[in-house]
A and B are shown apart, each in its own frame.
Chain A
Amino acid sequence: MAGEKVNRISLTEKDYQGAPTTMCRGCGHDAISASVIRAFFESSVDPRKVIKLSGIGCSSKTPAYFISQSFGFNAVHGRMSAVATGANLANHTLISIGVSGDGDTAAIGLGNFCHMMRRNVNITYIVENNGVYGLTKGQFSATADKGSVMKGGKVNDMPAIDLAELAIVMGATYVARSFSGDRKQLAPLIQGALAHKGSAILDVISPCVTFNNHEGSTKSLKYVKEHLDPIHDVDFIPPYENIEVDYEEGTDQDVELHDGSRIILHKLGRDYDPSNKMQAVAAIHAAVAEGRFLTGLIYYDPTRPEFIEDLNLCETPLAELGQDMLQPRAELLDQINAEFMK
């Protein structure tokens, strides 16, 4: 279309769209899908090289609503992290984006989620976190804050699992928190996650307008907006753009990613170093204690090898190896037979 902006592979942002959404009107998840679309468009990712994975739940439906030219896999409840691990091993040249919810990730699939991060599987993993089970009509999830009130008045008396903190502790190497409504922050964070090699976890607060948007809920749109606490503003600079940014010594921090792209963090009135693990955990604790949602790039470790490096995999994706590479020679079986004769 004339006049429409195209990216480096000549696609428009529309080319990254998916099927029409079936979320409730005003759902935070749709806003996240829009940020995903923006991020993939801006980073000029070839949709044919992308795989979209999810589990079960409202959030897990959303991969159908972005980038329809990509392969998608809507798996079993809680098992996306394991399915993504298998797919990554089969073809590590594909760009994996996983979308999950707080039920999927923090409850039924918690173990698998932890072990995916422990392995540092290369993935951009977005948790659309609303503190509630939407698809089963409004039960508390494991990320609901203690004291938060359900629509019918029931009070949650269990402490919340903080997914960003968990991710840092379990070995994820790119951990961010954001808000569904903040595309300006979220889209560059997704771009950074895509460029990162390893488990990139984005805990995105995404209010449920139907079951968790009332007075007394700590995940309502109003409450979240009032308690957002961004650490920094975020800019993403792709590797090919050698542009000068408004970089201010002392207040801006430059984070270089694996593919040569950079994230510029513009500090907002505090000293914060995302490469400091202990500081990251402490900052989360402090924010939680004060009821603030700390957002931004909370933790980043570019040094840890991703899973396929640990496994010493060959360069060609395992899925693309032919019989000549996959089947040992018959003489080798003869040797083994000879050993069995002893």
Chain B
Amino acid sequence: MESPAINDLNICIATENGTGSASANNILFKAIFKMGIPCSSKNMFPSNIQGLPTWYQVRACADGYMGRKDVIDVMVMFNDATAAKDIYRVRDGGLIIYDDSTPLSPNLKRDGVQYLGVPANKLIQKIVPASPLRTKQRNMIYVGALAYLFGINMETIKEVLEDTFGKKPAVIESNLICIEAGYNYMKDKGFTQTMARLVAIPNGNKGKIITDGNTTCALGAIFGGVAIVSWYPITPSSSLAEAMEYYFPRLRKTKEGKATYAIVQAEDEISAASMVLGAGWAGARAMTSTSGPGLSLMNESIGLAYFAEMPGVFFIIQRGGPSTGLPTRTQQADIQLMYYASHGDTRHIILIPHDMKSSFDFSRRSFDLAERFQTPVFVMMDLDLGMNLWSSDPLVLVKEPFDRGKLVTAEQLEQWEKQGKKFRRYFDADGDGIPYRTIPGNMHRHAAYFTRGSGHDSDAHYSEDEKDYKETLDRLRRKFETARKYVPEPIIETADGAKTGVICFGSSYEPVREARDRLRLSGVKTDHLLLRALPLTEEVREFVAAHDRVYLVEQNRDGQMAAIFKEEWPELGAKIGSVLIYDGLPVTAGEIVRQIKAHEANLRERVGEWRERKLIASV
């Protein structure tokens, strides 16, 4: 008999949404976390409120990999609608847990897996009186069953229930009874499995937090001094603004109880973006959060902010597009929509967090960059980072003064005038493309200027003059070049003598980390560059140049980031191979490994063909 894997287990739970499975799954995940075992969770939910299929994966991984695992060890088959497919999602030798209140239909039987039945419906009918709660609490039965089978003790479950429902003893009690029922059923039947055991690691997760990226972005913005938030509900970004609504009153009230913030649910994304512009122009730190369709609507305003030079931060939580696409699934397919947002020649600064700490930190820093460059700044997130729970080291507030950029006060203007210097709103006095800025309320008699999205000269006068127009476009490009020195630099990890490089960004980081380890074990050594911003920086160019080939991992069909690389450095374009994952699910290491190996095999074949041709030619 195989010996059980210790703390290496991937459980997939198939349920219907709106049946309370979210709290059951959450309790299971947090119990494993509480045991000190490295673990992660992925929620694959429908764009619907009740009745459509949803899957939740909990992965315990002794090696600490947080990416989604494509090999499923255990399937909790609690949704009849998807059962016929779900039985094939589990690996050979895996385990299926199902509700055997009624006999399993023959078409749901397959070879090579172990079936364990738990009569959840029957059990719940005994415990919970007929009520809407009954369906919800049915899911607690599988939590108990899994706990027994894999070694989560009931004490840990109790602690999680207390953490979760702290002030509601009745709720704790009622859930506990259901979990115990599942647990005891398995125990009484003498059911066992031999594939895996969960074994507590004392202090294993000590000091770790569990949170999601939308929450950390919200907190980063609040600690970054955002004063005005305008947003329109859209999945998967709504929870970012809602987190701000939750934390603002606690963190940003004056002694008198007044708000040092304004949060407005706008009538549409166009309005949300326009409010950000108005607020940024008038001197406040302002932001919005949205996803693809909202960003499409915001494009015109973003162009105005770029051309008339106003700060504003745009959090984009990417989902599956085009159109409505897959609103509850993850993608990185709006990279170019962000980078080139709006008509005309535009290019924008994008910060790309890859985990909880960086999403907090980049969120905070984005406001400094927006003010420094007087332009829209994007924080590029995706649903996997934004909405899934991640374990992480605690968030850290880097203490540094706000960078308000080249903001000129009335006193400074007075000084300037004494020195014979004049305020010219769009004049590039320093050669870095960044002009000086005043804000309304500046009482100096020469502070005011006229902001417009139409052609203007260095003194902010209306102009259709071809020289003025071209000069403005060139200066904006110069400003963008300056930004390369200010955006977060990439993080590079090297392996001795590796000739192959891997580049990734955002939520691909964890699966790429795992994939590289697997590749190394199979003899392929790789260096790695974690891209953390656009525009691209010199370090990135050097990395590509220093390797024979570079695999750029991104979550879209067309290689949107690769296209930006190739536009930037056409001479390096041939070195870049794309690893493209765009099924809407969080990336797995397995898929990355598969694609890289396929590329490598192709390369070998082509080298072989070339040698053959050379031989023939020489004959």
Contacts and interface: CB of A to CB of B under 8 A. Distances in A.
Size class of the A contact interface (CB-based, 8 Å): 35 or more
A260 interface: no
A84 interface: yes
B282 A319 contact: yes
B121 interface: no
Contacts of B286: 86, 90
Most chain B CB within a 10 A radius of its CB, from A47, A74, A84, A93: A74
B282 A112 contact: no
A326 B260 CA distance: 7
B453 A333 contact: no
Contact of A333 (B219, B258, B266): B219
A90 B284 contact: yes
A59 B261 CA distance: 33
Given A74-B450, A115-B271, A323-B225, A312 B282 contact: no
Given A51-B440, A89-B262, A315-B258, A82 B275 contact: yes
A93 B282 CA distance: 11
A89 B441 contact: no
Contact of B443 (A48, A73, A87, A319): A48
Nearest to B224: A327
A75 B211 contact: no
Interface in A52-104: 53, 63-64, 68-76, 79, 82-91, 93-94
Contacts of B247: 336
A70 B441 contact: no
A71 B285 CA distance: 19
B402 interface: yes
B209 interface: yes
A75 B450 contact: no
B284 A323 contact: no
Interface string A95-126: 00000000000000001101100010000000
Contacts of A94: 282, 440-441
Given A48-B445, A333-B219, A320 B283 contact: yes
Chief secondary structure at chain A's binding surface: helix
Interface in B184-235: 207-211, 219, 222-228, 230
B558 interface: no
A340 interface: yes
B228 to A, nearest CB: 5
A332 interface: yes
Interface in B245-292: 247, 250-252, 254, 256-262, 264, 266-268, 270-272, 274-286
Contact of A76 (B304, B396, B439): B304
Contact of A87 (B209, B264, B271, B281): B281
A324 to B, nearest CB: 10
A74 B453 contact: yes
A82 B258 CA distance: 24
Contact of B267 (A111, A317, A320): A111
A68 B277 CA distance: 21
Nearest to A108: B270
Contact of A86 (B230, B397, B451): B230
A320 B281 CA distance: 13
B395 interface: yes
B441 A76 contact: no
A330 interface: yes
Given A48-B448, A86-B278, 9 more contacts: A76-B274, A85-B275, A86-B282, A89-B227, A91-B441, A323-B401, A327-B224, A327-B225, A341-B208
Interface of B: 163, 207-211, 219, 222-228, 230, 247, 250-252, 254, 256-262, 264, 266-268, 270-272, 274-286, 300-301, 304, 394-397, 399, 401-402, 439-445, 447-454, 462
30 contacts: A48-B442, A48-B443, A71-B451, A72-B451, A74-B453, A75-B453, A76-B300, A79-B274, A82-B278, A83-B274, A83-B275, A84-B278, A85-B264, A85-B274, A86-B274, A86-B275, A86-B280, A87-B278, A89-B227, A89-B279, A90-B228, A91-B284, A111-B271, A312-B257, A318-B279, A325-B260, A327-B223, A332-B250, A332-B251, A341-B208
